Amino acid sequence: MTIHKEGYKPIIIVLIVLCCIAAIINTIFPQQTYIHYFLYLCGLITFFFVLRFFRDPPRNTIINENNIISSADGKIVVIEEVEEAEYLKDKRIQVSVFMSPLDVHVNWYPISGIVKYKKHHNGHFHFANKPKSSYENERTTLVIEGKNRIELLMRQIAGIAARRIICTAKTNTNITQGDKLGIIKFGSRVDLFLPVTAKIKVKLNQQVIGGETIIASFE
């Protein structure tokens, strides 16, 4: 299992903390009991889930300039027409993917093009599956200009447990559909604001795969 580079530090910290807890328990209560074994098991399970959270699996992206692919693993929680007020300032179709703590949290570029805009917003840490998280939570916004100068806005959103958004995108640089753009730590959401001419290919509550599932198409 490949681990994302952002996971090395928290994984090491968790391992050290668990080892320290085990050492303290064995110092105070050296006689091994079923309680000890139960705590060891809990520690192993905790370490396994932290390790699993930062997994970075390979994805088979089929690059197609007519398709918009999912930027994240998770469940579709929003498909609706909205007014995008931060940058585009026009009507858009919002498609949102909610990532549970069990999902892969790496993010991928939905289209190829040029990064025209990037801005990080400080904010709250509401549950990421709530509508207000899109404009009230800690978030990073990207605007990518793709084929035929079509602009797509993408928003990485922190959740109630997610406290750090990693976004490696840089403005005025060329990016390729399916390349990794960052990761959101511990429960989060990604919003895509698509042109109203895009044909949506997903449904509410559908599970999608980042870097692979087609969210919408211009065909």
CA angle, residues 109, 113, 114, in degrees to nearest 5: 100
DSSP state of 1: -
Which residue in 157, 185, 166 sits closest to 14, CA to CA? 185
CA angle, residues 180, 184, 189, in degrees to nearest 5: 100
Q: Which residue shows structure tokens 């940058």?
A: 87
- Using an 8 Å Cβ cutoff, are 202 and 213 in contact? yes
- 188 as an active site residue: the answer is yes
Q: Give residue 74's region: left, alpha or beta (phi > 0; psi -120 to 50).
A: left
Q: Which residue shows structure tokens 């919003």?
A: 191
- Using an 8 Å Cβ cutoff, are 3 and 56 in contact? yes
Q: Give residue 157's region: left, alpha or beta (phi > 0; psi -120 to 50).
A: beta
- Give the Cα separation of 206 and 200 in Å (integer): 12
Q: Of 71, 133, 188, 217, which one is the catalytic site residue?
A: 188
The pair of structure tokens assigned to 193 is 């604001």
Active site residues: 188
